[in-house]
Structure 1
């Protein structure tokens, strides 16, 4: 993989640190400002502005930490096999203290639990399988060892029908990352649709706005309801704001049941009640998946 093609603004990355106490760990982040390449040549002086997803500047402001780092400290998020079983002496990464830390399986326990030894800190901690992944190295644009082969899954194509309730996204500036509830009004050729929004109205405010969208990138079914008693710090959520659902991160949990949500696109922190939030889900290959706090995905 050519870094020119991947390390661009908005790309998700994993970030390493040379600071004492953090060696052997990787933290999830997003590129805010990509490096400048000269004749497609990378040097150690290439600086990239990144924003962490789980590390904050302080506990008061709720702002996520941003840093200028060398390109060699970044890599794409490591792949993982969610249903994999681990073995004695196998090198793994464990989700711990807001990041992924390199360790070794020292004991296989009952109930899909494993004991992991961390050489850097000389600690041994028990983990559930869901908080582990096989340790991999990123070399010359490839992962070693490569992702284990699995039989290709047959993806059931979603059929959108007239009258169906859907969610629609927009590429317009200021609306990136938001999804708006709509109804399929007409079916067109070549995978296109006429949809009618449930909350957006036309310029004359005489009727709900209608728009033509394409199936490939702008329309999806409404996500299933996921009951949540309480949202957690750093959890990825959708917030009902300005007539749509906007993806953000819980940056503060208040005692009165209110949550402060941080929005990456705008840099804003806004307060929401529990009923105005939902678990963030992604529509991938015809299935809904739920984002974990560290970037793993589990089937909804």
Structure 2
């Protein structure tokens, strides 16, 4: 009590440095595809609500209105906010490692499913598989009681001491550009390549091509062979599963490179799928996106819903894990 008999207010609890206005942080922003996705943001201010553990942040790469350039601002609890992790040098990963992959302006949690050549990895997130270069991956860490778990090693601590937030933001920008590079084909490497290489397919190459008929709401991918390039990034292709109307041979068609991709790498098919798994079904000669609606009693057959809501009964051998970028799934 003061000498005048009035209580003295307790001093406000001081926020940790990373929650101070202007600090660059990562926020656990709920995503329809993956709830464990984190996006870079800036602390703007404490929220005006009665809960003093909430903060207003402005995202650096998410927009309220992209046309006007207005970036998304939102209020979050402090438990959903963590410091910006220090830059991590490229490292070797092994199958089963829990990692985060940078794609579509955020870091998504998953695990390494396969190790490929040239520092490339198959990244698994739920029932989806994506291909990433090592520069778009980092070891998954949790911010717990003011410390990183697992702790940073000596090389990362050295980077943290000498590096600045500005360099980290440059790294985020580089990752953003790399994640958007390419044609958007599924299981395409996230490392940047030149446009010429992305669109270059040699005569006789085995590829997959997507159907471009209709409104594009239910795309499928079909095995095909490059017959020859015809110029302007267009190719004459021969389907390997679709035949001509008179059944005299396999159908040939001219297509642009945006609808052609290399065959996806082999991914082992699990012994059993379960309800709500996102998969692809071999149907009418192509691979179509679908969801397991029901596992039938003999465990070797399923009912699946296609993207156009048609229901289809299929065998286990006609299914494969869905393979695609986050944008496509």
TM-score of the superposed pair, with normalisation by structure 2: 0.43
- Relative to the length of structure 1, the TM-score reads 0.47
Going by fraction, where is helix more abundant, 1 or 2?
A: 2
